[in-house]
Structure 1
Amino acid sequence: MVFAIMLMNVLLGIGNEMNGDDAIGIWVARNFRHKNWLAIDCATVPENYVGEIVRQHPEKIVMVDAAQMNLKPGEIRIIPKEKISKATFSTHTIPLSLFMDHLRELTKSKIYLIGIQPKVLYGKMSNEAKKAGERVIQYIKNDEIEKIKVLE
């Protein structure tokens, strides 16, 4: 009997739904569906899902979060690990750069951090954030992550 390991890519939605646009990562995870992807709403504790992520044997891991990048609201960027210090993330218990290193070591996956520039960090999520979230979903579904601009 032969067993095949089904490889699933993993999308991690990160954020706090009580803080306006900071919920955009969660919103993306909750609205994303694709047969080759597992979407996880991590809230503010992505490190709690390491076991689930590792079990998927992912080729790609995509983390989506609101990031203060000093851009127009709704702008989207891939944030390389070495540029994480240029972006501000407000609601995490551990630095995302450390989390990325840990995941890379455990999974050998290609890891992307996608930041969406927030407009508001209180009340309801802005239309700019939701539209950006919809674009991020399409980039991932169409395997076009590399088309997203990289944060300079």
Structure 2
Amino acid sequence: MGNNVLLAVGSVLRGDDAAGPLLAKMMTDSPVEGWSVVDGGQCPEDELGVIRRQEPDIVLVFDAADMGLPPGTVRNLSAGDVATDCLISTHALPITFLLGEIESMAKRVVFLGIQPADTTFFAPLTPAVRESVKELFERISSRGDWEGYRFVGEDE
């Protein structure tokens, strides 16, 4: 299956922004062949050296993104989508910087965003987001079509 890396991004203290860390925990608790997990938390750029040393084929970046869609909706994001600032702003450096660095070290980068409902401090994960994270984990672990999510704007 290759040398793939999940880079999970988000804060466990900010409600649905914890979607990335939840996916990282699921994949750590139930490892998937061909995948390693990097929980980047709020400062994913701190993990660039770890990712570079793995010489990945694919890096899957997963983060909460305000796309104006129903909560729990997962979409592929392009560099242009990220540049329009649809991401929740909890990161130390712009996510475009992070993606540029990852593109220089991986054969392919896939960025999946999940629409949050609530990112206030100390809020729990909402059921819609939790369910979508479980679905994504199942797609990855069953070697299903985890890349088959539509791009933002394709169906809105």
Aligned to 1:34: 32
Aligned to 1:81: 79
Distance, in Å, in 1 between the alignment partners of 2:130 and 2:138 is: 13
Helix, strand or coil for the counterpart of 1:30?
helix
Aligned to 2:50: 52
Quote the sequence identity (%). 26
Helix, strand or coil for the counterpart of 2:97?
helix
Superposed structure 1 runs of 4+ greater than 4 Å apart: none
Helix, strand or coil for the counterpart of 2:147?
helix
User: What one-letter code is carried by the residue in structure 2 that aligns with 1:23?
Assistant: A
Distance, in Å, in 2 between the alignment partners of 1:89 and 1:109 is: 26
Contact kept? 1:11, 1:40, Cα under 8 Å:
yes
Aligned to 1:99: 98
In the alignment, structure 2 segments of 5+ residues that lack a partner are none
TM-score of the aligned structures, taking structure 1 as reference length? 0.89
Is residue 25 of structure 1 aligned with residue 20 of structure 2?
yes
User: What one-letter code is carried by the residue in structure 2 that aligns with 1:83?
Assistant: D
Aligned to 2:129: 129
Number of residue-to-residue matches in the alignment: 145
Distance, in Å, in 2 between the alignment partners of 1:132 and 1:83 is: 21
Contact kept? 1:69, 1:86, Cα under 8 Å:
no
Written as runs of structure 1 = structure 2, the 5 A alignment for 1:112-127 is: 112-122=110-120, 123-127=123-127
Contact kept? 1:8, 1:37, Cα under 8 Å:
yes
TM-score of the aligned structures, taking structure 2 as reference length? 0.87
In the alignment, structure 1 segments of 5+ residues that lack a partner are 1-6
Flag the structure with larger Rg: 1
